[in-house]
Amino acid sequence: MDRREFLRYNALGFLSISVACAMPHSHDMHDMHEHHAMMQDSKIDTSFITLQENIALFDPKKFPNNENLKPLSLLHSQTNKTKTFSATIEIKEQELELVKGKKTKCYTYNGLVPGPKIEVYEGDEVIINVKNSLNEATTIHWHGVPVPPSQDGNPHDPILPNTQRTYHFTIPQGSAGTYWYHPHPHYTTGKQVAMGLAGAFVIKAKNDVLSHLKEQDWFISDLGLDNNAQIRANTLGDWLNGREGHLVLINGQLQPKISIDERQRIRIYNCCSARYLKLRAQGVKFVIIGTDGGLIEKPITQQEIFLAPSSRIEVVLQSSKLSDIKLESIYYDRDKMMIQDSKENLLLATLQIKQRPPTLPSVLRTFDTKKPKAFKQVVMSEDHMQMHGMSKKTQEEIKQSLANMFLLNGKVYDMNRIDLTSRVGEVEEWSIVNKSHMDHPFHIHGAQFEVISTTLKGKTTLPQFRAFYDTINLKPNQEIKIRIAQNFEGLRMFHCHILEHEDLGMMGNLMVTKT
Ligand code: C2O
Ligand code: CU
Ligand code: CU
């Protein structure tokens, strides 16, 4: 692509874009989807897109900061029945006073940004009634949680405006871990998350080897506000690289003071649409105890934590310093298109540590190894021909170009096409290859996977520890092999978890069938 030409074009100013994607009306999936009749197009909202690259941003100094970290609000169960979690979530547009004296239009789960934390136990029956009071379709996807496809908020099952639906599933044994939930409607996931929709979902185990530790959540999201404290539209750079809000928040707070005064287990979530986090705190060592899908094999000590969009990690801290410890996110170069990053490190919080490091068992979890029976490959790529001659394109042609740029196995997502098929319970080895020039985090629905090996520049490395993930980052030209088994019949998605790439079609359908 010609970066300079693109910048020049961009400087021409304001242009409104929508991603043109007419929904083909195919009936092949009719049998699999009772909601087929609702599979209409819900295109990217044009009002949410701007090509103006110089939006005046809200001054971070005017955003409340340096206050004590508040725990996430909990979603309360409305039943006393044992082993049952039953609750209601209303999704609505609402003005929140994020900044004193200013009303920011947000989308909220029960009036909250971030949404309420859901905490359940393995074996629980979960019944969540969702009322969509937005003027647009949405879904709730239980990211990483092993729920049946019909209950997983697939884009094929939208909750239309002013309607409700009940998600109903049972939490499998062995799935204790740190998850999250967010919307997943086709074309508008990125927008709805940017507007405020995302929440934590924690599954606990009845006999947890770490039950002696108290817990804390660091739910990290980023908010992009304009100078009028309104959530800003996406720029073309956002569509190409994924949107990064300039206010990086923990539990909705800017640069909070966090005090760790008990023996604490900290669950850290990267729920940003596209922002990569590389956490570091002076004098602090992070003892990793868990990843996306729960406890890892054994505790591993690291100086730094890398969290691609959508990744989660569980840690305990070891510190030689006790107060005024700066928690920072170190600049990570992910080879963005068109954009020159300032390469600055970001202050996320100030830590106060009053604990002695807890003693941890030497083994946290055992993993068994099963040989794969099937093999698959997913190639991530970008079609840079789409950028060619951009300055001469009409608005309609630009839309088409964006909607044809981000590919999996050479194709743009089609809701009605099955890209891959798997059998229930069968162990598979997937090779994910990034043949593009930018990082992309790969995510698959419905099951956790283990990383088997990583290959970059001809050098293959084995993972440092055994762990379960549902999202894994790939650097340009990297290949990662994973082992996975799907345990439910039905339709799953796999995609890049930079939400703008997902919306632009860097996604595929996996059909899981009976053996
Ligand atoms: Cu959080 Cu389809 O993903
Ligand atoms: Cu997911
Ligand atoms: Cu991507």
Output the pLDDT for position 339: 78
- Quickly state the pLDDT bin for 439 (edges 50, 70, 90): very high
Answer yes or no: are the C-beta atoms of 82 and 166 closer than 8 Å.
no
Mean pLDDT of 200-224: 96
Token readout for 459 is 């050098």
Q: What is the mean pLDDT of the chain?
A: 89
Q: Quick one: which ligand is closest to 447's CA?
A: 2
In angstroms, what is the span from residue 105 Cα to ligand 2's centroid? Answer: 26
What does the pLDDT look like over 4-48, one tens digit per residue? 333 333 332 223 333 322 233 333 333 333 333 332 233 555 445
Output the pLDDT for position 48: 52
In angstroms, what is the span from residue 69 Cα to ligand 2's centroid? Answer: 28
- Atom of ligand 1 minimally distant from the CA of 182: 1
Whether 152 has a pLDDT exceeding 50, the answer reads yes
Answer yes or no: are the C-beta atoms of 88 and 78 closer than 8 Å.
yes
Q: Quick one: which ligand is closest to 382's CA?
A: 3
Distance CA 70, CA 322 (A): 20
- Atom of ligand 1 minimally distant from the CA of 470: 1
Residue nearest to atom 3 of ligand 1 (CA): 143
In angstroms, what is the span from residue 473 Cα to ligand 3's centroid? Answer: 10
- Residue with the bigger pLDDT between 370 and 88: it is 88
Whether 2 has a pLDDT exceeding 50, the answer reads no
Which residues does 276 contact at the CB level (< 8 Å), separation at least 6?
A: 270, 306, 307, 308, 309, 332, 334, 439, 473
What does the pLDDT look like over 68-83, one tens digit per residue? 999 999 999 999 999 9
What distance lies between CA 258 and its chain's CA centroid? 24
H helix and E strand count, the chain: 5, 31
Residue nearest to atom 1 of ligand 1 (CA): 143
What does the pLDDT look like over 44-73, one tens digit per residue? 554 455 556 678 999 999 999 999 999 999
- Atom of ligand 1 minimally distant from the CA of 310: 1
Q: What percent of the chain has pLDDT over 90?
A: 79
Output the pLDDT for position 24: 32
Q: Quick one: which ligand is closest to 476's CA?
A: 3
- Parallel, antiparallel, or unpaired for β 163-170 and 125-132? antiparallel
Token readout for 469 is 């993930």
Q: What percent of the chain has pLDDT over 70?
A: 89
- Atom of ligand 1 minimally distant from the CA of 507: 2
Cα angle, residue 118 at apex, residues 113 and 119 outer, rounded to 5°: 145
Q: Output b/e per residue, 440-466; b: 16+ Cβ within 10 A.
A: bbbbbbbbbbbbbebeeeeeeeeeeee
In angstroms, what is the span from residue 193 Cα to ligand 1's centroid? Answer: 11
Sign of CA dihedral 71, 73, 74, 78: positive
* β-strand partners of 54: none
Output the pLDDT for position 277: 98
In angstroms, what is the span from residue 406 Cα to ligand 3's centroid? Answer: 7
Output the pLDDT for position 13: 28
Q: Quick one: which ligand is closest to 310's CA?
A: 1
Whether 132 has a pLDDT exceeding 60, the answer reads yes
In angstroms, what is the span from residue 501 Cα to ligand 3's centroid? Answer: 5
Of 501, 497, 499, the closest CA to residue 307 belongs to: 497
Output the pLDDT for position 389: 81
Q: Is the peptide bond before 114 cis (omega within 30 degrees of 0)?
A: yes
Output the pLDDT for position 192: 97
Output the pLDDT for position 11: 30
In angstroms, what is the span from residue 453 Cα to ligand 2's centroid? Answer: 22
Whether 355 has a pLDDT exceeding 50, the answer reads yes
Global pTM?
A: 0.91
- Atom of ligand 1 minimally distant from the CA of 180: 1
In angstroms, what is the span from residue 173 Cα to ligand 1's centroid? Answer: 22
- Atom of ligand 1 minimally distant from the CA of 493: 2
Output the pLDDT for position 42: 33
- Ligand 1 site residues (CB inside 6 A) read 141, 143, 182, 184, 310, 443, 445, 493, 495, 497
Q: Quick one: which ligand is closest to 494's CA?
A: 1
Whether 358 has a pLDDT exceeding 90, the answer reads no
- Atom of ligand 1 minimally distant from the CA of 184: 2
Output the pLDDT for position 79: 97
Output the pLDDT for position 354: 86
What does the pLDDT look like over 452-474, one tens digit per residue? 999 999 999 999 999 999 999 99
Neighbours of 162 (CB within 10 A): 10
What does the pLDDT look like over 280-309, one tens digit per residue? 999 999 999 999 999 999 999 999 999 999
What does the pLDDT look like over 249-262, one tens digit per residue? 999 999 999 999 77
